[in-house]
């Protein structure tokens, strides 16, 4: 059975994200706090949970879990396990990623860091 362009582009996008994860580059975004992510959260694990493709465009939702073990956005380490989403907007042309823009969903992350 032949794959649709969306299926091929989704496979390319997921492989691209998985390679970023293997290299330890998944946390790199243009958000000002992105550099703190690696230091503030240890035992990080990630999973591509959902993808949506339309033609050349692919959007992926990656779930990242980890332990809050360092300062992040003014929050002292809590030792808590946290779970947050990271979104990736990609454009795939002829089997290659030509545009990639990731960002974190801090709206779900920051409330988890409050001391109890």
Q: Which of 48, 53, 56, 46 is nearest to 97 (CA)?
A: 56
Question: Model confidence over 70-116: pLDDT tens digits?
Answer: 999 889 999 999 999 999 999 999 999 999 999 999 899 999 998 66
How does DSSP classify residue 57? E
Number of other residues whose CB lies within 10 A of the CB of residue 51: 19
pLDDT band at 69 (very low <50, low <70, confident <90, very high): very high
**pTM for this prediction:** 0.89
């Amino acid at each position: 059975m032949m794959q649709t362009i969306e299926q091929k582009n989704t496979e390319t996008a997921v492989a691209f994200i998985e390679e970023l994860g293997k290299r330890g580059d998944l946390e790199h975004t243009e958000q000002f706090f992105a550099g703190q992510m690696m230091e503030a959260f240890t035992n990080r694990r990630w999973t591509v949970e959902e993808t949506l493709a339309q033609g050349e465009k692919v959007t992926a939702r990656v779930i990242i879990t980890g332990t809050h073990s360092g300062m992040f956005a003014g929050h002292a380490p809590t030792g808590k396990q946290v779970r947050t989403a990271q979104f990736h907007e990609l454009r795939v042309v002829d089997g290659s990623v030509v545009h990639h823009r990731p960002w974190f969903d801090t709206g779900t992350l920051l409330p988890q860091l409050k001391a109890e």
